[in-house]
């Protein structure tokens, strides 16, 4: 009896395993056939996230440096708030932004809702706390003699700032990788303010969610593979540079 049950179990599992292999096979075919819809989604995802990172990185790193270097009233409260925002759900950021950009919102007249610009703004808001908090921590953790040496050698304030950022460059790069990983894979905000419009605001995470809900696993898996490759590529590049510098 037990043998029969296990045989039935094995028989019922076999088609599923085959389906998964088939789906992965179809996904790879989709990827390598250069499917325009699929690669269009990848292009939207990458361009939105890269633009967001280009805006957020100097802003976040600059704010992190200032918070670490300049004392002002309310600084401690601001730091705690930013550290708290690290854990903010992306869908809440999306909701807030939606309320601001919707027709009745403060910025409603700008007609940005359901555009790539709105997605970029959302991703900038998601990346900023990560970049600020990590940069702040990197600068605070740097050897205080670095700053003093730069000052003692006659560097201007801007050169001192640049020197400090160069000295903690790997921590800053880790912050950028972390923030990029967060924005490229976030779905909540992109869905809320982008609207998942095909060819316009449909990015990898929103497309995976949609295709999976429709039962089209092949495209979901293909996009998932791209997402993994991008994440691995970014982290490998970081590890390569870090390793090269230590040799």
Partner 1 sequence: MSLLALSTLSKAFGERQLFAIEQLTLRAGESYALTGENGAGKSTLLRIMAGLEVPDHGAGRYAARNFDWKPYPDWLRREIIYVHQQPYLFHTSVADNIAYGLRARGIDRREREQRVAQAVVWARLEHLRDTPPQKLSGGEKQRVALARAWVLTPKVLLLDEPTANLDAESRAQTLALVREFCGPQTTAVIACHDRDVIELPHMRRLHLAGGRMATEGNTESGE
The backbone region for 3, taken as left when phi is positive above 0, alpha when psi lies in -120 to 50, beta otherwise, is alpha
146: tokens are 């670095």
Does 244 interact with partner 1 (rule: CB under 8 A)?
Answer: no
Does 151 interact with partner 1 (rule: CB under 8 A)?
Answer: yes
Nearest to 93 by CA among 49, 115, 126, 133: 126
**The only residue of 41, 44, 150, 207 in contact with partner 1, by rule CB under 8 A:** 150
- The CA-CA-CA angle for residues 162, 166, 171, to 5°, reads 125
**The only residue of 50, 85, 146, 231 in contact with partner 1, by rule CB under 8 A:** 146
Does 148 interact with partner 1 (rule: CB under 8 A)?
Answer: yes
- The CA-CA-CA angle for residues 67, 69, 74, to 5°, reads 45
Tell me whether residue 149 or residue 212 sits nearer to partner 1 (CB atom). 149
Cβ 150 to partner 1, closest distance in Å?
Answer: 8
Rounded-to-integer distance, Cα 94 and Cα 169, Å? 31
- The CA-CA-CA angle for residues 95, 177, 60, to 5°, reads 60
Cβ 239 to partner 1, closest distance in Å?
Answer: 18
**The only residue of 152, 215, 243, 244 in contact with partner 1, by rule CB under 8 A:** 152
- Report in angstroms the alpha-carbon separations of 68 from 38, 59, 125, 152, 235: 43, 14, 20, 20, 26
Of the candidate spans 6-14, 160-168, 181-189, 233-241, the one that interacts with partner 1 by CB under 8 A turns out to be 160-168
# binding residues, partner 1 (CB under 8 A): 17
Cβ 100 to partner 1, closest distance in Å?
Answer: 40
Does 13 interact with partner 1 (rule: CB under 8 A)?
Answer: no
Does 141 interact with partner 1 (rule: CB under 8 A)?
Answer: no
Could you list the residues that contact partner 1 (CB under 8 A)?
143, 145-146, 148-156, 159, 163, 166-167, 245
């Amino acid at each position: 009896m037990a043998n029969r049950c296990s045989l039935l179990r094995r028989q019922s599992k076999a088609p599923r395993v085959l389906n998964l292999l088939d789906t992965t096979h179809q996904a790879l075919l989709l990827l390598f056939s250069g499917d325009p819809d699929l690669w269009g989604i990848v292009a939207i995802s990458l361009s939105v996230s890269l633009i967001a990172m280009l805006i957020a990185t100097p802003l976040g790193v600059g704010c992190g440096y200032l918070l670490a270097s300049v004392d002002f009233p309310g600084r401690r409260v601001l730091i705690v708030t930013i550290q708290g925002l690290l854990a903010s759900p992306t869908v809440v950021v999306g909701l807030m932004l939606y309320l601001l950009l919707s027709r009745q919102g403060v910025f409603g007249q700008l007609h940005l809702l359901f555009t790539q610009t709105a997605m970029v703004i959302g991703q900038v808001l998601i990346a900023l706390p990560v970049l600020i908090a990590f940069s702040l921590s990197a600068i605070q953790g740097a050897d205080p003699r670095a700053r003093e040496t730069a000052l003692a050698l006659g560097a201007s304030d801007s050169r001192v700032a640049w020197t400090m950022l160069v000295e903690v460059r790997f921590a800053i790069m880790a912050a950028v990788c972390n923030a990029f990983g967060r924005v490229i894979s976030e779905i909540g905000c992109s869905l809320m303010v982008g609207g998942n419009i095909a060819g316009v605001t449909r990015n990898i995470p929103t497309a995976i969610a949609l295709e999976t809900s429709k039962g089209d696993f092949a495209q979901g898996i293909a996009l998932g593979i791209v997402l993994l490759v991008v994440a691995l590529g970014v982290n490998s590049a970081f590890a390569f540079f870090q390793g090269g510098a230590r040799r």
